[in-house]
Structure 1
Amino acid sequence: MSVLWLATAAFAIGTEAFVIAGLLPVIAADLQVSLASTGQLVTVYALTYAVGSPLLAVAFNNLDRRTLLALALSSFIAANFLAAAATTFLLLLISRMLMAVGAGLCMPTALAVSVAIASPERRGRAIALVTSGLTVATVVGVPFGTLVGNHLGWRATFVMVAGLGAVALLGLLFGLPRGLPRTTATLGERIAVARRGAILHALAITVLWAAGGFTVFAYLSVPLRVLGFGPTEISLALLIFGSAAAIGNLLGGALADRIGPIPTAALGLTGMVLALALQSVTLKFVPPELARPLFLGLIFWQGLAAWAFYTAQVASIVRIEPNVATIALSLNASALYLGIAIGGMAGAVVLSVMDPSDLGWTGGLSVVAALAALLVQGRQMWLKPLKIAG
């Protein structure tokens, strides 16, 4: 039951992290700032998470895990209420940074606690249950939060997320035991793992993939509005993306086991490049009556390919350094959010100097770079046994 409350916390955090993509236009209009500037709500959150999460994990290493989770979730909840009350864009930016501090402290702790409280034969399922909170957030929380924000005002979405966080907090306070293991990797150990060539290469691939994907996803509501989608239809589009992401997550895992992580990751990146490029082609050249259903299909394709890649990438990292897999995956999470931050900035530049229809091919270029880096990595791994044999 305790793991279920950890999954609820992950659901709240995942909803807040990604729902902003559907709320940018209404926030921009209400606070009278440009869409490009509003997109920095994505950037500051992701950058704070990427940098803050490993530093906070080390700083609070000796704190009781239940107390730490309560502190992290309380910060997350308070920051959402602050966002709901924000009357200026600066205050909203600050609230997003505070949310990232709470989320960046909560998620790694939740995963560690799920392992600590589960029996050895159930640890894999405990981790899967916690991470399923993020997956369910993309399918349910994000489209519903977008619908709430567009019909009741964007502030209502932050209140909703705060309520979800409060439910998780109460559940953990009453359902989680004290005295759980407190050990975590030191900053020096993290840096040592990050400096290993194969891990550093893999982290760069994750950054490039996330940057390309979130150049588009962070501003997805902009081209949707260009095509004439209303608030309810934008929520439907996000539901389509989230459903595809959930399917891609399962498909990527199955294919990684069958054909290997690197071939699966390469397929995912290739599919993602095509989906993003065709989004730009659709917006530029296809008549509106055909562009609308085609664009929805490409959103599904993007979500399917992107998250099939990510699952395979995680499996690949575990295989590269199985002895330090926990540290490597923590670093990969930071790389993910660093890429999201870069994507938020890149999308803002596109909207400032180009057209919404240019988001797709711009993001696609970053994914092409990720694919090239992956193929280099794969070639090195395939040639390594030959060098040993020689």
Structure 2
Amino acid sequence: MSILWLALAAFAIGTETFVIAGLLPAIAADLGISVSAAGQLVTAYALTYAVGSPILAVTLNNIDRRTVLSLALSTFIAGNLVAVIASGFPLLLASRMLMALGAGLCMPTALGVSVAVASPERRGRAVALVTSGLTVATVIGVPLGNLIGSVLNWRATFAMVALLGAVALAGLRLGLPRGLPKNTASLGERLAVARHRNVLVALLITILWALGGFTVFTYFAVPLHGLGFNANDVSLALLTFGVAAAIGNMTGGLLADRLGTIATAALGLAGMASALILHSLVLKIMPDHARYAVLGAIFLWGISGWAFYPAQVASIIRIEPQASMIALSLNASAMYLGFALGGALGGAVLTALSPTDLGWVGGAGVSAALLVHLVRGWQGRPKPVKIAG
């Protein structure tokens, strides 16, 4: 039962991470700032998560995991409550950074705890159940949060996330035993894994993939509003993306087993880059008939982009099988660093170009990830044996 509370915590964190994309225009209008400025709420959150997660994990290495989870969720809840009452952009920005500290401490701890409380033959399923909270958030939490924000206001969405976090916290306080193993790696162990050349290349690919996706996703609602999408239409588009992401995540895992991680990741990156570039082309070439075509591009983006992720995770585990949790923690930080860079780049695109240019810029980032991935795969092939004679 405690695994379900961990999954609910992941659901709350996933909802908060991704729902902001649909709320940015309303936040910007309410606070009297530009949408590109509001987008830095995403950059600040992601950058704080990327940097804060490993630092907090090492700092709190010797504290009981139950206590760490309670601290993490309490911090996350407090950040959402501050957002509810934030009267200006600086306080809202600070609230997002507070949420990120809580989320960045909670997720790796939750994965470690899920392994500790599960029996050996169920550990894989336990980890999958916790991470499914993030996937389900894209299907249910994000569209629901966006809908609540449109019917009430954006502050109500933060209140909803705080409530979800509070329920998860109460369940974990009641359901988790004390004295759980402290499996967090030391800073030296993390650095040793990070110095591995193949790990560094894999982290670069993750950064570029995340950068490309969040260049567009951060400002998800902006080009849609230009097509005449109302709040309900944006919620439908977010639901489309979430369903596609869930399908892509499952499909990517299956294909990685059958085709291999290199081929599956390459297909995912190629499809995602094509979908993002198509997103821009549709908006520029056929704006009067783009509604369904844009939804199609969003669906292809969700499937292909999230088909890449399980293949990438599997390949990273194979690089460092004895230190897989460390490598995956580094990959999570790389992903959020990419989210931060993507949010900043998307804001620059809106300032210098237009919303219709977000797709091709994001697609260029994913194409760069594909290029690095293909070079890595080619260099990793067995060298042909020369036969004398």
TM above 0.5, yes or no, is yes
Q: CA deviation at 1:320?
A: 1.6
Aligned CA distance change for structure 1 residues 123 and 370 (closer, same or farther; 3 Å): same
Report if the CA contact (8 A) 2:66-2:178 is conserved.
yes
Report the counterpart of residue 314 of structure 1 in structure 2. Answer: 313
Matched position secondary structure for 2:10: helix
- The separation in 1 between residues aligned to 2:21 and 2:308, in whole angstroms, is 21
- The separation in 2 between residues aligned to 1:387 and 1:111, in whole angstroms, is 43
| Amino acid in structure 1 at the alignment position of 2:177 | P
Report the counterpart of residue 177 of structure 2 in structure 1. Answer: 177
| 1:359 has 2:358 as partner | yes
Deviation by residue 1:330-365 (Cα, 9 ceiling, x = unmatched): 000000000000000000000001010000000011
Report the counterpart of residue 203 of structure 1 in structure 2. Answer: 203
Percent of aligned pairs with the same amino acid = 67
Aligned CA distance change for structure 1 residues 304 and 41 (closer, same or farther; 3 Å): same
Alignment of 1:134-145 (within 5 A): 134-145=134-145
Report the counterpart of residue 291 of structure 2 in structure 1. Answer: 292
Matched position secondary structure for 2:219: coil
Report the counterpart of residue 78 of structure 2 in structure 1. Answer: 78
**TM-score (normalised: structure 1):** 0.98
Q: CA deviation at 1:325?
A: 1.1
Aligned CA distance change for structure 1 residues 163 and 216 (closer, same or farther; 3 Å): same
Report if the CA contact (8 A) 1:84-1:159 is conserved.
yes
Aligned CA distance change for structure 1 residues 74 and 36 (closer, same or farther; 3 Å): same
Report the counterpart of residue 324 of structure 2 in structure 1. Answer: 325
Report the counterpart of residue 111 of structure 2 in structure 1. Answer: 111
Deviation by residue 1:187-227 (Cα, 9 ceiling, x = unmatched): 11111111110000000000000000000011010011001
- The separation in 1 between residues aligned to 2:287 and 2:276, in whole angstroms, is 18
Report if the CA contact (8 A) 2:22-2:220 is conserved.
yes
Report if the CA contact (8 A) 1:62-1:183 is conserved.
no
**TM-score (normalised: structure 2):** 0.98
Q: CA deviation at 1:387?
A: 7.4
Report the counterpart of residue 375 of structure 2 in structure 1. Answer: 376
User: How many residues are paired up?
Assistant: 388
Report the counterpart of residue 20 of structure 1 in structure 2. Answer: 20
| Amino acid in structure 2 at the alignment position of 1:124 | G
Alignment of 1:149-168 (within 5 A): 149-168=149-168
Report the counterpart of residue 336 of structure 2 in structure 1. Answer: 337
| Amino acid in structure 2 at the alignment position of 1:338 | L
- The separation in 2 between residues aligned to 1:188 and 1:74, in whole angstroms, is 29
Q: CA deviation at 1:386?
A: 4.3
Report the counterpart of residue 187 of structure 1 in structure 2. Answer: 187
Superposition misfits of 4+ residues, deviation over 4 angstroms: 385-390
- The separation in 2 between residues aligned to 1:387 and 1:85, in whole angstroms, is 68
| Amino acid in structure 2 at the alignment position of 1:159 | A
Report the counterpart of residue 249 of structure 1 in structure 2. Answer: 249
- The separation in 2 between residues aligned to 1:331 and 1:165, in whole angstroms, is 25
User: Where does structure 2 lack aligned partners over 5 or more consecutive residues?
Assistant: none
| 1:57 has 2:57 as partner | yes
Matched position secondary structure for 1:382: coil
| Amino acid in structure 1 at the alignment position of 2:297 | L
| Amino acid in structure 2 at the alignment position of 1:374 | H
- The separation in 2 between residues aligned to 1:193 and 1:319, in whole angstroms, is 13
| Amino acid in structure 1 at the alignment position of 2:349 | V
Greater shift after overlay, 315-324 or 72-81?
Answer: 315-324
Matched position secondary structure for 2:290: helix
| 1:347 has 2:352 as partner | no
| Amino acid in structure 2 at the alignment position of 1:91 | L
Q: CA deviation at 1:388?
A: 11
Report if the CA contact (8 A) 1:11-1:136 is conserved.
yes
| 1:130 has 2:103 as partner | no
Q: CA deviation at 1:389?
A: 11
Report if the CA contact (8 A) 1:215-1:344 is conserved.
yes
- The separation in 2 between residues aligned to 1:3 and 1:238, in whole angstroms, is 27
- The separation in 2 between residues aligned to 1:105 and 1:388, in whole angstroms, is 52
Matched position secondary structure for 1:343: helix
Q: CA deviation at 1:183?
A: 2.5
Q: CA deviation at 1:185?
A: 0.8
User: Where does structure 1 lack aligned partners over 5 or more consecutive residues?
Assistant: none
Deviation by residue 1:291-346 (Cα, 9 ceiling, x = unmatched): 00000010000000000011110011111221111111100000000000000000
Matched position secondary structure for 1:348: helix
Report if the CA contact (8 A) 2:112-2:183 is conserved.
no
- The separation in 2 between residues aligned to 1:79 and 1:212, in whole angstroms, is 27
Aligned CA distance change for structure 1 residues 389 and 147 (closer, same or farther; 3 Å): farther
- The separation in 2 between residues aligned to 1:80 and 1:127, in whole angstroms, is 26
Report the counterpart of residue 232 of structure 1 in structure 2. Answer: 232
- The separation in 2 between residues aligned to 1:387 and 1:318, in whole angstroms, is 28
Matched position secondary structure for 1:180: coil
- The separation in 2 between residues aligned to 1:368 and 1:15, in whole angstroms, is 28
| 1:264 has 2:264 as partner | yes
Aligned CA distance change for structure 1 residues 266 and 174 (closer, same or farther; 3 Å): same
Report the counterpart of residue 2 of structure 2 in structure 1. Answer: 2
Q: CA deviation at 1:150?
A: 1.3
Report if the CA contact (8 A) 1:116-1:180 is conserved.
yes
- The separation in 2 between residues aligned to 1:48 and 1:145, in whole angstroms, is 23
